[in-house]
């Protein structure tokens, strides 16, 4: 068996926003992954999942299909990804972070240190299509796994592989990134906290992750948009703002219109070639009127017609998941609609 540090390995592909450091490779965002193309009969990965309050889970994908899902220990350990494969045949592997970046846990991160294999690493293909997903708990896959009626806010009930960003990208054979945080809004969080909004953090790598350690690694630094440009950006924000209106006494709805307009300007500045789709519906569309007003104002002033609104199917009693969030069936329906629309736009 040959052992390689991730920092020394060639022909590896890192998906998701992160820093340049590879000693170790540190992943925060949901859906972030290490992707490999290997010729070997056995593969091990050394990793750790430090956390304070919310542990890490990963999914393991082999040749495009998920074969397992597991919790990761705090301390470094070697995990066997597969054994007894045909060594003469290339195997595509993705180690996928199932849990979102945790804005309330400065220790939460997935660290990947090294590889052991009895063969070689081959180049990993770049996809022809790139998509960025921006949103809240829906994009983070909260409640997409677990029994109906589960209520604990714990990592076990977050699953990226059961979410519509994963399913949409898979249907389109796309590379992708997810930028999402449960409970956060376009302008205001579900509980009325205006400090927990996505747009102010968008231009940084992952500045919503707290703590001196992650800041020291560079996660609060500006993101290098030139290094990864999406063809499509799918924004799903506004659901938690509606919760603030209904339950937290938030009344300044003009801020939603203004923030939608200003966020579109930010997205366009950093992603000049992307087609932007603002999609809502999995948990209602009550704030859509404010967002649409902001979109129309942006389009009228900028002349930018590569922006649109898309309704996604609402969750019902048959498709609800854990924590009163969309279940895997609801995400599958949403992915079908969104992937279909992107196919139309590409045609």
Domain containing residue 260: CATH number? 3.40.50.1110
Are 133 and 179 in contact, with CB atoms under 8 Å apart? yes
Reduced to 3 states (helix: H, G, I; strand: E, B; else coil), residue 282 is strand
CATH number, domain with residue 105: 2.60.120.260
Residues 114 and 140 in one domain: no
Residues 93 and 193 in one domain: no
What is the per-residue pLDDT for 25?
98
Place of tokens 């949103």: 135
Residues 153 and 289 in one domain: yes
Please report the beta strands in the chain, taking only residues with DSSP state E, as ranges in sequence order.
Answer: 2-5, 13-15, 25-27, 33-39, 42-48, 56-62, 65-72, 77-83, 91-97, 110-117, 120-122, 130-135, 175-180, 232-236, 275-280, 307-311
What is the per-residue pLDDT for 216?
97
Are 162 and 325 in contact, with CB atoms under 8 Å apart? no
Domain boundary among 75, 95, 122: 122
Q: What is the Cα–Cα distance from 261 to 252, expressed in whole angstroms? A: 15
pLDDT in tens, 33-64: 999 999 999 999 999 999 999 999 999 999 99
Residues 118 and 137 in one domain: no
Residues 338 and 231 in one domain: yes
Q: What is the Cα–Cα distance from 126 to 7, expressed in whole angstroms? A: 20
Task: Sort 293 into a burial class: Cβ within 10 Å, 0-12 / 13-18 / 19+.
Answer: middle
DSSP at 238: -
Residues 221 and 147 in one domain: yes
Are 9 and 121 in contact, with CB atoms under 8 Å apart? yes
- Within 8 A by CB and 6+ apart from 21, the residues are 217, 218
Domain boundary among 122, 140, 173: 122
Q: Which residue range(s) make up the domain with 103?
A: 2-122
In a 13 Å sphere around the CA of 16, the CA atoms on its Cβ side amount to 29
What is the per-residue pLDDT for 162?
98
Please report the beta strands in 191-271, taking only residues with DSSP state E, as ranges in sequence order.
Answer: 232-236
Tokens of 315: 């969750």
What is the per-residue pLDDT for 331?
98
Residues 281 and 245 in one domain: yes
Banded model confidence at residue 181, pLDDT cuts 50, 70, 90: very high
Residues 117 and 193 in one domain: no
Place of tokens 């540090």: 5
DSSP at 33: E
What is the per-residue pLDDT for 220?
98
Banded model confidence at residue 324, pLDDT cuts 50, 70, 90: very high
Are 38 and 93 in contact, with CB atoms under 8 Å apart? yes
Residues 331-343, mean pLDDT to the nearest whole number = 98
In a 13 Å sphere around the CA of 211, the CA atoms on its Cβ side amount to 17
Residue 110 Rama label (left phi>0; alpha psi -120 to 50; beta)? beta
What is the per-residue pLDDT for 18?
98
pLDDT in tens, 184-234: 999 999 999 999 999 999 999 999 999 999 999 999 999 999 999 999 999
What's the domain count of the chain?
2
Q: What is the Cα–Cα distance from 136 to 20, expressed in whole angstroms? A: 26
SS (HEC) of 140-165: CCECCCCCCCCCCCCHHHECHHHCHH
Q: Model-level pTM?
A: 0.98
Residues 103 and 169 in one domain: no
Domain boundary among 59, 92, 122: 122
pLDDT in tens, 254-298: 999 999 999 999 999 999 999 999 999 999 999 999 999 999 999
Residues 134 and 118 in one domain: no
Residues 188 and 100 in one domain: no
Banded model confidence at residue 67, pLDDT cuts 50, 70, 90: very high
pLDDT in tens, 102-139: 999 999 999 999 999 999 999 999 999 999 999 999 99
Residues 305 and 259 in one domain: yes
What is the per-residue pLDDT for 17?
98
Reduced to 3 states (helix: H, G, I; strand: E, B; else coil), residue 67 is strand
What is the per-residue pLDDT for 345?
98
Using a pLDDT cut of 90, give the percent of the chain over it: 100
In a 13 Å sphere around the CA of 36, the CA atoms on its Cβ side amount to 27
């Amino acid at each position: 068996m040959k052992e390689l540090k991730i920092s020394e390995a060639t022909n590896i592909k890192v998906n998701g926003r992160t820093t340049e450091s590879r000693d170790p490779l540190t992943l925060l965002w949901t859906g972030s992954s290490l992707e490999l193309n290997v010729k070997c009969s056995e593969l091990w990965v050394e990793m750790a999942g430090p956390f304070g309050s919310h542990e890490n889970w990963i999914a393991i994908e082999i040749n495009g299909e998920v074969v397992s899902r597991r919790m990761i220990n705090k301390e470094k350990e070697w995990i066997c990804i597969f054994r007894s494969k045909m060594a003469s045949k290339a195997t595509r592997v993705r180690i996928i972070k199932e849990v979102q970046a945790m804005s309330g846990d400065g220790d939460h991160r997935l660290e990947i240190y090294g590889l052991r294999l009895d063969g070689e690493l081959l180049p990993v293909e770049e996809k022809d299509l790139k998509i960025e997903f921006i949103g809240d708990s829906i994009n983070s896959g909260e409640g997409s796994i677990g029994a109906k009626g589960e209520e604990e806010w714990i990592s076990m009930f977050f699953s990226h592989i059961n979410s519509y960003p994963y399913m949409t990208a898979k249907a389109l054979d796309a590379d992708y990134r997810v930028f999402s945080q449960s409970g956060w809004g376009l302008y205001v969080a579900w509980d009325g906290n205006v400090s927990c909004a996505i747009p102010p953090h968008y231009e940084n790598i992952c500045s919503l992750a707290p703590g001196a350690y992650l800041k020291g690694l560079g996660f609060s630094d500006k993101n290098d948009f030139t290094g990864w440009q999406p063809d499509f950006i799918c924004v799903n924000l506004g659901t938690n703002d509606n919760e603030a209106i209904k339950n937290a006494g938030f009344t300044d709805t003009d801020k939603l219109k203004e923030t939608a307009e200003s966020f579109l300007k930010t997205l366009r500045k950093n992603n000049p070639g992307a087609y932007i789709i603002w999609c809502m519906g999995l948990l209602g569309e009550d704030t859509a009127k404010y967002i649409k007003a902001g979109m129309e104002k942006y389009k009228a002033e900028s002349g930018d017609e590569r922006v649109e609104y898309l309704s996604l199917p609402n969750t019902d009693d048959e498709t609800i998941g854990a924590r009163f969030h969309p279940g895997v069936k609801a995400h599958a329906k949403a992915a079908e609609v969104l992937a279909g629309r992107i196919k139309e736009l590409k045609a």
